Structure 1
Amino acid sequence: MYLAITVLLLVLLTESILFLGYSYITTITYDLYVKITRDNRVAKQKKMKTDVLRLKAELGQTSSQDEFSKWAKLRRKLDKAVADLEKLNSDISYSRAAFELKVKSVLWFLVHGSQVVMVLWFRKSAVFYLPPGWFGPAQRFLSWPSAPEGSVSVGIWFAACRRMIKALALTVNDFVLVPSTEKKIKTT
């Protein structure tokens, strides 16, 4: 019976990942990674953004005709700060993309690879046995591809669990999420 529960929990986990989406999970994971590691580039980026905004405000208050030398000096400072900020943004963006690619690869293996490994590893195992004669000739199909006859195979149990979880999610979506949006539409 542990195999049936393990498969059900694995399908629940994988369907939750697919429901949330790889991009959402990788974004949350990256934000958490940055907070935990306290990446100094992110702190430097925030400081550089505030400096650029301060320089822009100072440049806006300086007259280009009356105080040209001060204005030109501030303009060069601002241009250099913007160029440095863009370079840092590029570096952070590159490292973020690499991190997200790694996380998406792990998620893909967790979703698809774990199921393939489970089906291959337990292909000859019975998840549980059916009472004889209840399903007639369909009993052979339920034990497909190589589980003992009269039992349910891991592959069929994966498909049944996946179908049940998706149907449950659609039902919850129809009865819980849709009425709340209808109320918002009626009130506006």
Structure 2
Amino acid sequence: MTLMAMLFALVFVTELISWIGQSVLLEFVYSLYLRIFYSGTVTKQRKLKSEILLNKKELLQTSAQDQFAKWAKLRRSVDKGLADLEKLNSELSTVRSSFSLKFKSALWIMTTGLQFVIGWWYRKAAVFFLPPGWFGPLTWWLAFPFAPAGSVSCGMWQMACKRVIKVGERVVKELMVPSPSQVGTAGPVPSEQQRKEDAGKKSE
């Protein structure tokens, strides 16, 4: 029973991640990772962007001919800010690439990879035994490849769980998203009394 529940949970988590989207999870976890380990760098980047925008605004309002000293100082400040910002962006880009690779690898190991490992480790074990004669000649197929005869193997149980979860996902999506026939300007459905009155008018 424990093996059955464990395999179902693994398949469910894998399909849930696929449904939500790996990129969505990556963005969410990466934002948390930045807040915990690179909060100072992110704060510095945000502050530097604000300073550059303010200096650029002031630079545009300063005449290069009438206020050359001030204009040159602002120009140097903007150039230095852009150089520092580019360096910070490059640092965070490297961090993101490294984190993305590690995150995707960890996600694969904890879901699909773990399914393969458990399936191989328990390849000769029975998830559960079927009542005799329920599936006739197909009983051997449900035990494929190495499980005892009359039982359901890990691989077949994983396939069944995935199929059931896929069907459940499709049903949930259909319930959440109205069909094209339900969306329109048809208006409210007429009541029984209104239909009788309409029918009476047509007969007249």
Do Structure 1 and Structure 2 share a fold, with TM-score over 0.5? yes
SS in 2 for 1:137: helix
Q: Give aligned-pair identity as a percent.
A: 47
Structure-1 separation of matches of 2:162 and 2:110: 15
Structure-1 separation of matches of 2:108 and 2:178: 30
Equivalent residue for 2:86? 86
| Paired AA for residue 19 in structure 1 | W
Structure-2 separation of matches of 1:26 and 1:142: 37
Equivalent residue for 1:37? 37
Offset, 1:178: 3.4
Q: How many residues are aligned here?
A: 184
Q: Does 1:105 align with 2:105?
A: yes
Q: Does 1:119 align with 2:93?
A: no
Equivalent residue for 1:23? 23
Moved over 4 A (4+): none
Equivalent residue for 1:4? 4
| Paired AA for residue 109 in structure 1 | I
| Paired AA for residue 168 in structure 1 | G
**Higher radius of gyration, 1 or 2:** 2
Equivalent residue for 1:129? 129
TM-score of the superposition, structure 2-length normalised?
0.85
Question: Residues 11-66 of structure 1: CA distance to partner in whole angstroms, max 9, x if unpaired?
Answer: 11111112222221111111111222353111111111111011111112211222
Offset, 1:124: 0.9
Q: Does 1:163 align with 2:163?
A: yes
Structure-2 separation of matches of 1:20 and 1:163: 18
Structure-2 separation of matches of 1:68 and 1:35: 41
Question: Residues 78-105 of structure 1: CA distance to partner in whole angstroms, max 9, x if unpaired?
Answer: 0111111011111111111101110111
Q: Map 1:148-159 onto structure 2 (within 5 A).
A: 148-159=148-159
Question: Residues 75-132 of structure 1: CA distance to partner in whole angstroms, max 9, x if unpaired?
Answer: 1210111111011111111111101110111011122211101100111111111111
Equivalent residue for 2:173? 173
Gaps of 5+ in 1: none
Paired residues of 1:27 and 1:100 also in contact (CA < 8 A): no
| Greater relative CO (CA pairs within 8 A, separation 6+) | 1
